[in-house]
Structure 1
Amino acid sequence: MNFTKLAIADVVLIEPKKFGDSRGYFMETFRQSLFAEHVGDFDFVQDNQSLSAEVGTVRGLHFQLDPMAQG
C-alpha cells in the first residue's frame, strides 16, 4: 500500500496494491497497522477486496500463525 502526503494538511492519498491475473484480483484496501504508521490511529482492523472474473473460479484460503495471524 502506498501513502502519499498531499499539499493539504493532514490529507494522505492511500493507494492499495492490486494483485491480479486472468482469474481476477485481490487487494488489501485497509490495514490498521499501516494506517497507524502513515496516517494515525484508527479503530478498524482490516478490509480486503477480491474479484473472480469467471463463474467457477476457485481460490485458495491461507492460514497464518502469530505474529502475522489474521482473524
Structure 2
Amino acid sequence: MRLINDIVKRFGADKVFRCKKELKDKILWAGATSLTDGSLDTRAMPRRFGHPQFHKALVEAVPQNTLRHIAKTSSSIKPA
C-alpha cells in the first residue's frame, strides 16, 4: 500500500483520476482493501485519495460487500 500511496502523493489525485479506467480502478481497489487492514497506519494512507470524483469512482471500482465494510472510513475522505 505504501507504493500506491507514494504514487498518489507524487502525481496527485487529479492525475490519478485522469488515468485510464483500468488503472484508476486498480488503484482505488488497492486503497479500498487497505481500509480494511488491521494497521492504523495502513488505513490512514488512502486519505490522500481525496478528490471530487472519489466516491463515484469508488462505487464503480469496488464490490458492494467491500464498500459496506469501508463505508464509515470512505465517507470521511474529503476532496483534496
Question: Quick check: TM above 0.5?
Answer: no
TM-score (norm 2): 0.27
With a CA cutoff of 8 Å and minimum separation of 6, indicate the structure with the bigger relative contact order.
2
- When normalised by structure 1's length, the TM-score is 0.28
Decide which structure has greater helix share. Answer: 2
